[in-house]
Amino acid sequence: MSASNGNRVQTLRSLVQLLVDTSEVVINEWEADEQDPQPVDHLASSLPSHQLFEVRRIIVAACGMCVDSDLVEDPRIHLQELSERFALSQAFDTTVRAGVPDVLAEAVSLSGSVSATELSQRTGIDEKKLVQLMRFLSSGGLYEEVKHLQFANTRISSALRDKSVRRTLAYLPQTLLDPETTSATAVTESAFHKAFKTKQSLWDFIEDGDDSDEAVREIRQVFPLSMAGQTQLSSKSIAADFPWESLGEATIVDIGGGVGSMCMELAKVFSNLRFDAEEPKALETGRVELMVHDFFKEQPVKGAAVYILRCVLHDWPDDDCVKILTRLRDAMSPNSRVLIIEMIVHPPLGSIQLKSAPAPLPANYGRGSLMKGMHDIVMLSMLNGSERTPEQFEGVANRAGLRTEKVWECRAPVGITELRRL
């Protein structure tokens, strides 16, 4: 056996062993759930145990290492697949534009699936060609052929909503290949601006865009939904994986807090905490007080226990992040902290601040980090933004007179980076 074959044997054995060990943990939890079933809406948003969260990402990473590499596959076939992967996104995009997920969603309460003939009539795509697309996409898990020529959504296709993001992503190649825009950092010079032919920032476009434009109506409708979706994915973990109760009756200021959804979720669980959610324009909302504030201007609430920045810094280039953080640094007392709640990029070779995956997996859980990578590219396309590694957060924090106190890894796509004054 050659040395490289020896390595492959060792790697495959380790991966299989990891899968055997970790899948038992998942199966035990499923069996426990069966004995003590939870209401459906609880299951949809329930928080996995720390152990379940960890083994799930190990399983995804281990399967990803088998599928997304040449470990077991002939490298020539793998290469061919990579070069033609575009076919998958194009085929998927075609069905989404034609409204296939919506037609299939309507069928859920009726027969559960839709025939190729009906799908063709409803979408206007030639039946034979539509079957080609649907079968190809069903092999990729995006739809399911439940009976001969009868199709249904999977959990992936039913989760689809965001057409404006897809439209924007289509303009990423020409934005990055155009010498005039490749190095742009402004929130008004991204692929989004090419796609929607606008000079407004995403926020102004949503706020003041022309209502007769379908794109404006669509993005206005979709954006709050996607933020709400992110809240749903992360809020339980944010509440459970940071010691909020230790803050007593502290004041929490949520900077760029949108409609205050983060505060409202926390307020449900921690009744002692007091919340101010700050936005450029104030809206009416229940228990949480909404204040008008521009985060590039002086912070009016001085010495608060906590300043939250949830999903804010990833919208902005480093220099603007430094300005936003400097305004907070100026308002902070020695005991104040800033909590950055957003995705933390885990580099493939790992980070000293983040838990590494067990060998032979890549330190960043490989395939398990894919969603964060995709989100990073969405931020790049929409706003020239980016998700950041712990080291990149530390870099902007230091420039604003702050330092990382602790990185709180959460059982969610986001993490919490706690900053204190230098």
372-151-146 Cα angle (round to 5): 95
Judged by CB under 6 A, the number of residues near ligand SAM is: 16
Contact between 227 and ligand SAM per CB under 6 A: yes
Contact between 280 and ligand SAM per CB under 6 A: yes
Smallest distance, Å, CB 217 to ligand SAM?
18
Contact between 292 and ligand SAM per CB under 6 A: no
Smallest distance, Å, CB 409 to ligand SAM?
19
In 207-342, beta strands by DSSP E? 251-255, 274-279, 289-292, 306-310, 337-342
Contact between 59 and ligand SAM per CB under 6 A: no
Q: What is the number of other CB atoms lying within 10 angstroms of the CB of residue 162?
A: 19
The CA distance from 254 to 306, in Å, is 8
* Segment holding 144, helix H or strand E: strand 143-147
Nearer to ligand SAM, 84 or 284 (CB): 284
Choice from 238, 262, 339, 344 touching ligand SAM (CB under 6 A): 262
Query: Strand order of the sheet with strand 274-279?
Result: 289-292, 274-279, 251-255, 306-310, 337-342, 415-421, 402-408
Contact between 385 and ligand SAM per CB under 6 A: no
Stretch touching ligand SAM by CB under 6 A, among 10-18, 110-118, 126-134, 251-259:
251-259
Judged by phi (left if over 0) then psi (alpha if -120 to 50, else beta), residue 321 lies in alpha
Nearby residues of 204 by Cβ (< 8 Å), 6 or more positions away: none
Choice from 296, 302, 330, 333 touching ligand SAM (CB under 6 A): 296
Contact between 195 and ligand SAM per CB under 6 A: no
**DSSP tally for the chain: helices H, then strands E:** 18, 10
Contact between 279 and ligand SAM per CB under 6 A: yes
Binding pattern to ligand SAM, positions 148-187, x when CB under 6 A? ----------------------------------------
Contact between 261 and ligand SAM per CB under 6 A: yes
Specify whether the CB–CB gap between 304 and 336 falls below 8 A: yes
Closest to 59 measured CA to CA, from 402, 357, 372 = 357
Show the tokens assigned to 88: 């998958």
Smallest distance, Å, CB 96 to ligand SAM?
23
Choice from 101, 209, 256, 415 touching ligand SAM (CB under 6 A): 256
> Beta strand pairing status for 289-292 and 150-153?
unpaired
In terms of Cβ atoms closer than 10 Å to its own Cβ (0-12, 13-18, 19+), residue 409 is: middle
Give 301-327 as a DSSP string: STT-SEEEEES-GGGS-HHHHHHHHHH
Contact between 415 and ligand SAM per CB under 6 A: no
Stretch touching ligand SAM by CB under 6 A, among 11-19, 289-297, 331-339, 354-362:
289-297
Closest to 162 measured CA to CA, from 258, 90, 228 = 228
Stretch touching ligand SAM by CB under 6 A, among 85-93, 115-123, 250-258, 399-407:
250-258
The CA distance from 157 to 60, in Å, is 19
Stretch touching ligand SAM by CB under 6 A, among 37-45, 107-115, 117-125, 306-314:
306-314
Smallest distance, Å, CB 238 to ligand SAM?
10
Show the tokens assigned to 404: 């990382």
Smallest distance, Å, CB 171 to ligand SAM?
20
Choice from 59, 62, 312, 361 touching ligand SAM (CB under 6 A): 312
Show the tokens assigned to 29: 């939890």
Contact between 257 and ligand SAM per CB under 6 A: yes
Smallest distance, Å, CB 295 to ligand SAM?
4
Interaction residues for ligand SAM, span 198-217 (CB under 6 A): 203
Binding pattern to ligand SAM, positions 97-126, x when CB under 6 A? ------------------------------
Binding residues (CB under 6 A) for ligand SAM: these are: 203, 227, 256-258, 261-262, 279-280, 294-296, 310-312, 315
